């Protein structure tokens, strides 16, 4: 894992996964496909305003997929840059399949231990994450940065921040429209908050 020279960072990296889509709700691998937010996903995105409105960002980057930039818009974020490197993992032939469906072909398969046929390897996805962090370094030295992306890629980005092997991302979990906060503790990259619950989910459970 590359050395990101994090000692002089004053800012935090705020990661947000997009809101729910029909495919995320049913556990289908969603990489290249541009699946829109469900109605609940839109409520989740709007509820993010409560978590983000008091923060000031040096820069906001979003994935090119609609489910990500629409989440940012509904959360009240209007000044953002689309970054192709923030796209979700390319699942190749496994696009649109659930884990159980994939395991009928490869019983031991996980995204962290195998490369999907015709898709990206974990090293390729990790390289994209490290490019993002290098580009954001100037802003992170001044303050907070917001990234709105995807479940698997967000976990890889967090692991790149922590400078761990990419396979360690298997130990993380990221719900739709969850907020995660990465920072530094005296020069050591750390997780400050992870998978913070979305207010829309709390309301739905109480109804």
> 98-153, pLDDT tens digit by residue?
999 999 999 999 999 999 999 999 999 999 999 999 999 999 999 999 999 999 99
What does DSSP say about strands 144-149 and 81-82: parallel, antiparallel, or unpaired?
unpaired
Q: How far apart are CA 175 and CA 202, in angstroms?
A: 13
Instruction: Give a yes or no: residue 80 inside a domain.
Output: yes
CA distances from 3 to 131, 180, 181, 197 (A): 12, 22, 20, 31
Three-state DSSP state, 158: helix
Annotation marks residue 150 as catalytic: no
Q: Using the CB atoms, write b or e for 30-43: b if 16+ within 10 Å.
A: bbeeebebbebbbb
109 lies in some domain:
no
Confirm whether 99 is domain-assigned. Answer: no
Strand-pair partners of 147: 15, 61
Within-domain flag for 186: yes
19-28, 45-54, 180-189, 197-206: segment of lowest average pLDDT: 197-206
DSSP 37: B
Average pLDDT, the chain: 93
Query: What 8-state DSSP symbol labels residue 21?
Result: B
> Three-state DSSP class for 71?
helix
CATH of the domain at 20: 3.40.50.1240
- What is the pLDDT, as a whole number, of residue 203? 54
- Catalytic: which of 20, 42, 88, 95? 88
Say if 94 falls within a structural domain. Answer: no
The tokens describing 187, both together, are 């020069």
- Mark out the alpha helices in 49-186 (DSSP H runs): 49-52, 66-74, 99-103, 122-140, 151-162
Indicate whether 7 pLDDT > 90: no
> Is 175 within the bounds of a domain?
yes
Confidence of residue 43 (pLDDT cuts 50, 70, 90): very high
Please give the pLDDT value at position 60: 98
Inter-axis angle of helices 39-47 and 199-206, to 10 degrees? 120
Neighbours of 82 (CB within 10 A): 14
Q: Report pTM.
A: 0.92
Q: Is residue 56 part of a domain?
A: yes
Identify whether 120 is a catalytic site residue: no
User: How far is the C-alpha of 168 from the C-alpha of 64, rounded, in Å?
Assistant: 26
For the stretch 69-94, pLDDT in tens is 999 999 999 899 999 999 999 999 99
- Determine which one of 18, 29, 150, 152 is catalytic: 18
* CA atoms of 16 and 178, how far apart (whole Å): 6
**Domain annotation covers residue 135:** yes
Q: Which of 4-13, 25-34, 123-132 has the lowest mean pLDDT?
A: 4-13
Percentage of the chain surpassing pLDDT 70? Answer: 93
> Residue 18 and residue 62: Cα distance in Å, rounded?
10
What total number of domains does the chain contain?
1
Closest of 81, 86, 100, 91 to residue 26, by C-alpha? 100
> Structural domain of residue 36, as residue ranges?
6-89+122-206
% of the chain surpassing 90 pLDDT: 89
For residue 89, what are its two tokens? 């993992």
């Amino acid at each position: 894992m590359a050395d990101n020279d994090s000692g002089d960072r004053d800012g935090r990296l705020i990661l947000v996964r997009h809101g729910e889509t029909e495919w995320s709700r049913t556990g289908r691998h969603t990489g290249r496909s541009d699946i829109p937010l469900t109605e609940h996903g839109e409520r989740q995105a709007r509820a993010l305003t409560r978590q983000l409105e008091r923060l000031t960002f040096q820069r906001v980057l979003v994935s090119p997929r609609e489910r990500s930039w629409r989440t940012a818009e509904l959360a009240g974020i209007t000044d953002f840059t689309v970054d192709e490197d923030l796209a979700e993992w390319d699942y190749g032939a496994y696009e649109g399949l659930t884990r159980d469906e994939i395991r009928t072909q490869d019983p031991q398969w996980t995204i962290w231990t195998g490369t999907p046929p015709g898709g990206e390897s974990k090293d390729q996805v990790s390289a994209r994450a490290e490019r993002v962090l290098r580009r954001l370094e100037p802003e992170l030295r001044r303050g907070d940065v917001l990234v709105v992306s995807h479940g698997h890629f967000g976990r890889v980005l967090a692991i790149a921040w922590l400078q761990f092997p990419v396979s360690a991302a298997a130990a993380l979990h990221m719900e739709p429209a969850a907020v995660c906060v990465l920072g530094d503790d005296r020069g050591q990259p750390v997780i400050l908050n992870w998978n913070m619950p979305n207010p829309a989910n709390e309301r739905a459970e109480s109804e």
